[in-house]
Every structure is written in C-alpha cells, then in structure tokens.
Structure 1
Amino acid sequence: MHFLTILTPLLGLAAAAPQSGQAPEKVKVKGISLLGSGCPAGTADVQVDATGSLFEATFSEYQVQTGPGTQAIDWRKNCKLTLNLEFNSGFQFSVLETDMFGFAEIPAGAYGQCTNTFSFTGNGAEHVDYSIKLPGQYSGNFDLQSRPGILSWSPCGGSTAILNMNTACNINPTNRPALIAVDHISGKLVVKFAIQWRACHKH
C-alpha cells in the first residue's frame, strides 16, 4: 500500500527531528472529513497512522477535464479537507507540511493551476495559499508542496482546532482537450519537524 511505503521514511525523519521546550507534548489528527466536487462520497479514502501524526487522502475521481463533450462541472474541481486536531492547551501552530500529487496533460496554448488554501475555523477570512502553475505544453506528474513557516496561526484558548485545507484545480481555456488528475494528498503533523508551534500570550 502506498501509504505504508511513505510512512516508514517519514517516521524515521520525525524521530530524528529536534525537540523543543516550546512545543506541546501531544498533537493528533482526531479526524478528517472530505467534501467537494473532486471527492464525492465513496470516491476518496483517508488513512491516519497510529500516532495520529501522518495522514494520506487518495482520490479516484478528482479530475479536471476540458475540451469537446465536457461541461462546466468538469473544468474546475475542489476538495476541502477538514482536519480536527487535538493538542495540549496553551499553544498555537502554523500550517502542517503537505504534498498534493497528481498528473497533468496540458497542450500548448492552455493553462492549468492547482491551489491549496489553508485556514483555521475561528480566524475569520485569514488564509494562506500555495499554488502550482501548469502551463502548456505540460505532460507528466506534479507535486504541489505546502511548507511551514507562514504567518498564519490557530486560535489561542483551547486544546483543539479545526484546520481547513481547500484544494482546487482548473484549466483554461475550456475548449481545448486537457486534463489534471489529483492522485493523493499526504500530510505530516510532527512536532518541530512538520509544524511550527508557539506559546500563547497570557492576558
């Protein structure tokens, strides 16, 4: 299984990661829900490892297509991953490290793009975007990487948070045959290695 093949090296990296006194003792993905045109019910699968620190979502129908015979619903797809996280109170964290893997076939004169938007429930309109441009002529695999170090933080005042990761892909113009297919999204939630923490200020 692909998830297990990536799990072993990632756990090795996590074990070697430096520890910090400015980090909570525990953080776990307690659950993930998927919703969107790119992940209709029954077409996506999510696995979380035993530690709750690694996850992978795989898709069977996350495909954007343009050209003759396609419709508006085919030209843009999205899937929103909602991650429920649990951790020691008194901390905040920034975006975890993720990779969005897929395949694209974009002819010359056409243009594709995938964007991952991260936000925390309770932080209003604050969000951070990561994008990959797929200009034609393009044929092959792609990896949209999202890395920590951004200035977006979960709300203070609790021991749980909801992280929203909205993924979306589209192609223009829509009259030329082209394809973007998202295979899977992998995420790592490991203290100090894949996530940034800071202590909340007391008022």
Structure 2
Amino acid sequence: MRFTALLSIVSAGLAAAAAPRNLRVTGVSVLGSGCPYGSADVKADASNTALEIKLSEYVVRTGPNTMASDWRKNCKLTLNLEYDAGFQFSTLNTAIKGFAHIPSGAQGQCQNTFSFTGDSDQVTSGITLGGGRDGAFSLSANPDIAVWSPCGGSTAILNMNTQCWISPTEKQALIAVDRISSKLTVLVDLQWRNC
C-alpha cells in the first residue's frame, strides 16, 4: 500500500507539463540532396505541440536511367527554437506524408533522426513502404527513447535528418512530394515538461 502511494506521487511528478505559451522557429538551416536551398518550410502549430516540416523538392527514384544518387535522399535541418523559460521538450510520434510508387518486389524506407546541439544522444524512428503501393501515403513511427532539450534556458537547437531510400531495382519506383500538396511533409509531435 505504501509502495503504491509512493509510486503515484512519483508518477504525478513526472507527468508531462502543458506546452509553453510561446514557441517560435527563429532560424532554419538545410543541407542535403533532398532539400535544395529554399525548398524547406518549418512552422510550429497553434498549440505548440508539433512542428510541421514541408519539403517541396524531395524525390527518391529507381529504375532505368537512374543513378545510385537517385535511390537515396536526405535533408538535414538545424532548427533554432525559442520558447518560454522553465520548459524542456522531446520529440514524440513522427508522421511522414507524401506520394509513393513502390512496385512488388521493391521496398522503400524513410527514417528521421533527432538530436540537440551540444548533446551526443540521438533518437531515430523509421517507416517502411512495402511493395505494391501506388498513391499518397501517411505513415507514422514512435521512437523507442526520448532525448530532451537542455534545461536552464529558453532556446534549443534541434537537429533533424530525414532520409528516404528505395532498394535498388530495375523497376520504376518513387518516393516523392504528394501530387496534391506538392510537398513531402514531416509532422513531429512534441512533449513538454517543466525543468
């Protein structure tokens, strides 16, 4: 009985905090074959519990007349974030929305890796695009662990690397921007807690 009460008190102390009232993306740096300069747009949602990253020139393809550099693309983003003091955050569920044509016998995969500048820890989650797929997709993944931004300030630099690839095949295959939105979208849910 005493152990249960103690566990309840500890759990309550570790409960996630409400999001801060203010969260701003103050700078975005991009590097990679999947995001030429000017092709990435990042914003926080109104609740400050998610980031939306839109990539307008992200195309991975295989098949005749393609090279190895076409089979894999990546986009490394460095996001400068400002928020109310007294909070820290980590990434939660990540969803990727786009268009894919993956014939039977081929397979695609997308992976997101997150870390904070000044911290060697990182977290990775991935999705698989199996063969026999043709059309818009929206797939999500949860990381196994959480990496938290540093405490004691009101800024953090979040590093994110999105990579997508298709197993080499002579068949035409594609992971790309959605034909309706003209974007490959990465949605990153955030969890907050008090420092």
Structure with greater Cα Rg: 2
Q: Which residue of 1 aligns with 2:60?
A: 64
Q: Which residue of 2 aligns with 1:46?
A: 41
Relative to 1, partners in 2 of residues 1:132 and 1:92: Cα closer, same or farther, differing over 3 Å? same
Counterpart of 1:80 in structure 2: which amino acid?
A: K
| Matched-pair identity in % | 55
Structure 1 position 100 matched with structure 2 position 103: no
Larger CA deviation: 96-105 vs 175-184:
96-105
Measured after TM superposition, the shift of residue 40 of structure 1 is 1.1
Measured after TM superposition, the shift of residue 37 of structure 1 is 0.3
Question: Normalising by structure 2, what TM-score?
Answer: 0.75
> Counterpart of 1:196 in 2: which secondary structure?
strand
Q: Which residue of 2 aligns with 1:5?
A: none
Relative to 1, partners in 2 of residues 1:26 and 1:105: Cα closer, same or farther, differing over 3 Å? same
Q: Which residue of 2 aligns with 1:128?
A: 123
CA contact (8 A) 1:104 1:141 kept: yes
Counterpart of 2:68 in structure 1: which amino acid?
A: A
Q: Which residue of 1 aligns with 2:172?
A: 177
Measured after TM superposition, the shift of residue 82 of structure 1 is 1.9
Q: Which residue of 1 aligns with 2:192?
A: 197
Task: Provide, for residues 97-131 of structure 1, a one-character-per-residue CA deviation record: whole Å limited to 9, x for no partner.
Answer: 6532111111111111111111111111x222221
Deviating runs (4+, > 6 A) in structure 1? 49-52
CA contact (8 A) 2:95 2:141 kept: yes
Partner Cα separation in structure 2 for residue 96 and residue 30 of structure 1: 21
Partner Cα separation in structure 2 for residue 97 and residue 132 of structure 1: 12
Aligned 1:9-88 pairs, distance under 5 A:
24-42=20-38, 44-46=39-41, 48=43, 53=48, 56-88=52-84
Q: Which residue of 1 aligns with 2:110?
A: 114
Relative to 1, partners in 2 of residues 1:21 and 1:129: Cα closer, same or farther, differing over 3 Å? closer
CA contact (8 A) 1:36 1:80 kept: yes
CA contact (8 A) 2:88 2:192 kept: yes
For structure 2, the 5+ residue unaligned runs are 1-15, 178-182
- How many residues align? The count is 174
CA contact (8 A) 1:29 1:52 kept: no
Question: Normalising by structure 1, what TM-score?
Answer: 0.72
Structure 1 position 142 matched with structure 2 position 146: no
For structure 1, the 5+ residue unaligned runs are 1-19, 189-193
Counterpart of 1:170 in structure 2: which amino acid?
A: W
> Counterpart of 1:117 in 2: which secondary structure?
strand
Relative to 1, partners in 2 of residues 1:21 and 1:142: Cα closer, same or farther, differing over 3 Å? closer
Partner Cα separation in structure 1 for residue 186 and residue 17 of structure 2: 27
